[in-house]
């Protein structure tokens, strides 16, 4: 694979570090040539690292002519751009040579020239224009990817690749910290805590917030600011005004960044906007405790309270409190530093970055081999984009399973909130009731998925049932195969609706996979005989938990120890709730006292938090409340830490069962009792029949039957695989692009 990289050549900071480390790391994986449109330090350093470097200088016309010649002679497979000048030249090269171009987006293009209005009106506008004309974009963090998608870039052309640093080198056998500090102009006394920040001294880095917070920190803290920029003199004046210039060192531009991080106890970042800053993994490599603003991709590395501390941009008081806490607790500094080092080495190493970059190159080349009209798409329709955690989990599972079939499969989701769906799942999306967009998507699709949940019912409304039946007919007439995926059927109560549902499903559906066996009887009663019908399970059973750091952060934020022994209660309000909440509290208290457990309340949806508060107030034993989580995988991870789960929400039961955790259902809806029956567990009570004694008995039985739950969960996972098998069969053989 041959890749031509384009860059302006005047780059400094993170962008420079990224490009040089990337190209050096690509050796042995791809043949890379770097074109710098300016001679100087950047090009010289690249050449010194053994990177094949070509300098092209001159005006746009002459530079483009030389670039086109180089491209033709080199027969490159891809062109990879970095920065405004690189993007502009890549855009022009794509226009004249029809080359496949991708670009790395390091930050918000609208903020790149903050405080420099002339540059923003020239280079900034040119860059934003060029970005629109490049098909593939590599974002250095998920928030940068979200920013691109929010601004109308296709999710199918946006990839995420976090910056990585080389963890291969080790600490020197001897390191004279005092001498290193002296080189930075700092004299430290015993007991001093050294904190520092490496940043361009410009408005976006928000050093004033750091100085104001540092002024409130303990006197034994000293601060080193490494960097230069247009705000340098203003910041020095502010330091003097705050009376801290004796404790603050402006070190200027620092070439020896490795020793800079070695001298720090605490690494800081106070930016108002970032992609994913190199300063954090570089500090982690040298075992620095870290405090950072919650911006860009920073939370992907820093799990608050687990391996570092976060604060909202501009929040002086919280930053000051964090500085004070770490200044006074050396053990916590070391614990955070060790945990951060482990995570950064695992997930944010140079090897991980190079591996991800090669994945992206291969994906782009595969997709280059076909046009959109040649490529099979899948359209997915369900109750999505309404904020229901269970439905969103179903969609997440379906998207994951379709990408497991083929990672290049283009997905289009009909959603009540297309913008949110595009951002969360990185798929194309249109409004559920935009019939024109729906038909257009179905005409491009090889497969239509009526996705998960109980869509075929008229309890919600007859209109809802008619709409979903209409989508089956529309997809069939558009030429797509139709699959009802991991679904529940019914109840359909009105006779006219039953006749219509039976007729449409029988005529327009190719296959049906069911999430529980009660629906099979309903299909038979509707007279459905033609589609292939397979017992399966809810797709959400396959979702894996979030990483341990995110799960522990959620528990710690609630005041709960990640090592504790817990019973989880996932409750909601329902008819008769007021008469039953005391019974739930009494049963939970009894089990907690008998088995040495503590209660954790976990709302599956935000509106469930009130129910959790009401029961917690009635309990005499200690309890914790984990707030509603946006990420279903965090919910699954928390449930997986429980010894026992009692849930009124179907997906609370499904998520816990998927982790092999014993569950007890409190049923307000037939779908809850149906799932518990399908699970093979007689551990469910209708809310109308619930008493403290009955619930306590069910909870104790569930604890004793733990091993049986794990066996039944394994069987459900085996059944769930039938959903994917049915989709794969209907999709048939998919066209393939190029492989190099």
CB burial readout 599-627, b (16+ within 10 A) else e:
bbbbbbbeebbebbebbbeebeeebbbbe
pLDDT at 735: 67
Q: What mean pLDDT is reported for the chain?
A: 91
pLDDT tens per residue, range 380-396: 999 999 888 888 999 99
pLDDT at 121: 66
Task: Please provide the size of the chain in residues.
Answer: 740
Confidence label for 711 from pLDDT (cuts 50, 70 and 90): confident
Q: Tell me whether domains 2-160 and 559-720 share a fold.
A: yes
- CA triple 36-283-361, angle to 5 deg: 45
CB burial readout 324-360, b (16+ within 10 A) else e:
eebbeeeeebeebbebbbebbbebbbbebbbebbeeb
Question: Considering the entire predicted model, what is its pTM?
Answer: 0.81
Average pLDDT score over residue span 347-367: 92
**Three-state DSSP state, 3:** strand
Residue 581 has pLDDT above 90, yes or no: yes
Residue 738 has pLDDT above 70, yes or no: no
Q: Going by C-beta distance under 8 Å and a sequence separation of 6 or more, which residues neighbour residue 499?
A: none
Residue 204: DSSP 8-state: G
Residue 318 has pLDDT above 70, yes or no: yes
User: 559-720 falls under which CATH superfamily?
Assistant: Glycogen Phosphorylase B; (3.40.50.2000)
CATH number for the segment(s) 370-536: 3.40.50.2000
pLDDT tens per residue, range 659-695: 989 999 999 988 898 889 888 878 999 999 999 999 9
Helix (H) or strand (E) holding 689: none
Residue 376 has pLDDT above 80, yes or no: no
**Three-state DSSP state, 219:** coil
Residue 705 has pLDDT above 90, yes or no: no
Residue 514: DSSP 8-state: E
Top pLDDT among 194 and 204 is at 194
Nearest to 81 by CA among 146, 35, 21: 35
Nearest to 302 by CA among 326, 331, 337, 327: 337
Candidates 3.40.50.2000, 3.50.50.60, 3.30.465.10, 1.10.238.10; correct CATH number of 2-160? 3.40.50.2000
Q: How far is CA 352 from the centre of its chain?
A: 17
What does the alpha-carbon distance between residue 105 and residue 86 come to, in Å, rounded to a whole number? 11
What does the alpha-carbon distance between residue 153 and residue 131 come to, in Å, rounded to a whole number? 9
What does the alpha-carbon distance between residue 142 and residue 355 come to, in Å, rounded to a whole number? 17
Confidence label for 733 from pLDDT (cuts 50, 70 and 90): confident
pLDDT at 192: 93
pLDDT at 368: 76
How do 566-570 and 532-535 pair as beta strands?
unpaired
Confidence label for 737 from pLDDT (cuts 50, 70 and 90): low
* Residues of the chain above pLDDT 70, percent: 95
Domain ranges of the chain: 2-160, 177-348, 370-536, 559-720
Contact (CB, 8 A) for 138 and 103: yes
pLDDT tens per residue, range 534-555: 999 999 999 999 988 889 989 9
**Three-state DSSP state, 115:** coil
Nearest to 645 by CA among 715, 703, 561: 703
Identify the weakest region by mean pLDDT among 255-269, 400-414, 701-715.
Answer: 701-715
Count of Cβ atoms closer than 10 Å to residue 406 Cβ: 17
Nearest to 546 by CA among 637, 640, 626: 637
Average pLDDT score over residue span 216-235: 93
Residue 280 has pLDDT above 70, yes or no: yes
CA–CA distances in Å: residue 121 to residues 113, 115, 148, 583, 590: 9, 12, 20, 66, 68
CATH number for the segment(s) 177-348: 3.40.50.2000
Nearest to 288 by CA among 274, 269, 275: 269
What does the alpha-carbon distance between residue 426 and residue 423 come to, in Å, rounded to a whole number? 6
């Amino acid at each position: 694979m041959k890749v031509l990289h384009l860059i302006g050549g005047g780059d400094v900071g993170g962008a420079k570090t990224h490009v040089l480390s990337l190209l050096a790391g690509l050796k042995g994986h791809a043949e890379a040539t770097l074109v710098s449109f300016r001679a100087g330090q950047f090009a010289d350093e690249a050449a010194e690292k053994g990177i094949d470097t070509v300098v092209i200088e001159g005006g746009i016309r002459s530079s483009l002519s030389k670039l086109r010649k180089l491209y033709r002679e080199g027969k490159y497979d891809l062109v990879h751009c970095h920065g405004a000048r690189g993007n502009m030249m890549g855009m022009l090269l794509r226009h004249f040579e029809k080359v496949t171009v991708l670009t790395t987006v390091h930050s918000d293009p609208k903020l790149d020239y903050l405080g420099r209005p002339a540059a923003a009106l020239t280079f900034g506008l040119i860059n934003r224009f060029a970005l629109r004309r490049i098909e593939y974009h590599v974002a250095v963090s998920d928030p940068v990817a979200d920013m691109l998608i929010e601004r109308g870039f296709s999710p199918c052309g946006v990839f995420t690749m976090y910056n990585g640093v080389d963890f291969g080198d080790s600490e020197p056998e001897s390191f004279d910290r005092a001498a290193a500090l002296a080189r930075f102009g700092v004299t430290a006394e015993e007991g001093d805590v050294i904190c520092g920040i490496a940043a361009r001294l410009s408005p976006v880095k928000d050093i004033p917030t750091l100085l104001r917070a540092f002024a409130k920190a303990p006197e034994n803290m000293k601060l080193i600011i490494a960097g230069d920029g247009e705000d340098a003199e203003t910041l020095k004046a502010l330091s003097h005004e705050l009376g801290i210039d004796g404790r603050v060192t402006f070190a200027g531009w620092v070439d020896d960044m490795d020793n800079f991080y070695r001298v720090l106890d605490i690494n800081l970042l106070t930016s108002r906007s970032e992609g994913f800053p190199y300063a954090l993994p570089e500090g982690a490599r040298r075992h620095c405790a870290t405090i950072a603003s919650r911006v860009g991709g920073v939370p992907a590395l820093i799990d608050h309270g687990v391996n570092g501390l976060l604060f909202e941009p501009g929040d002086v008081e919280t930053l000051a409190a964090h500085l004070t806490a770490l200044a006074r607790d050396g053990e916590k500094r070391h614990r955070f530093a060790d945990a951060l080092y482990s995570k950064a080495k695992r997930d944010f190493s140079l090897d991980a970055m190079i591996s991800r970059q090669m994945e992206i190159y291969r994906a782009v080349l595969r997709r280059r081999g076909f046009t959109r009209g040649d490529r099979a798409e899948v359209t997915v329709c369900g109750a999505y984009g309404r904020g229901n955690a269970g439905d969103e989990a179903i969609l997440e599972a379906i998207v994951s399973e379709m990408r497991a079939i083929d990672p290049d499969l283009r997905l289009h989701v009909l959603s009540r909130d297309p913008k949110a769906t595009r951002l969360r799942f990185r798929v194309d999306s249109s409004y559920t009731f935009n019939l024109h967009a729906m038909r257009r998507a179905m005409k491009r699709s090889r497969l239509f998925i009526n996705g998960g949940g109980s869509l075929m019912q008229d309890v919600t409304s007859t209109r809802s049932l008619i709409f979903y039946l209409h989508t089956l007919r529309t997809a069939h007439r558009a030429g797509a195969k139709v699959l009802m995926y991991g679904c529940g059927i019914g109840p359909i109560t009105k006779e006219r609706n039953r006749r219509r549902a039976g007729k449409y499903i029988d005529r327009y559906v190719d296959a049906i996979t069911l999430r529980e066996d009660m629906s099979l009887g309903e299909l038979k009663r509707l007279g459905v005989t033609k589609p292939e019908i397979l017992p399966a399970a809810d797709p959400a059973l396959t979702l894996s938990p979030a990483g341990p750091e995110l799960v522990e952060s959620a528990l710690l934020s609630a005041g709960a120890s990640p090592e504790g022994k817990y019973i989880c209660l996932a409750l909601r309000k329902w008819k008769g709730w007021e008469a039953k909440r005391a019974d739930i509290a009494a049963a939970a208290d009894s089990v907690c006292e008998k088995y040495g457990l503590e209660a954790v309340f976990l709302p599956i949806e935000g509106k469930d938090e009130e129910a959790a508060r009401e029961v917690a107030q009635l309990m005499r034993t200690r309890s914790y409340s984990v707030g509603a989580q946006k990420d279903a995988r965090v919910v699954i991870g928390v449930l997986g830490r429980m010894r026992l789960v009692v849930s009124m929400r179907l997906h609370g039961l499904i998520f816990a069962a998927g982790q092999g955790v014993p569950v007890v259902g409190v049923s307000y809806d037939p779908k809850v009792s149906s799932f518990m029956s399908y699970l093979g567990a007689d551990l469910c009570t209708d809310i109308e029949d619930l008493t403290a004694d009955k619930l306590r008995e069910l909870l104790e039985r569930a604890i004793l039957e733990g091993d049986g739950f794990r066996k039944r969960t394994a069987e459900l996972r085996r059944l769930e695989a039938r959903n994917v098998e049915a989709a794969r069969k209907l999709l048939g053989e998919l066209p393939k692009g190029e492989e190099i």
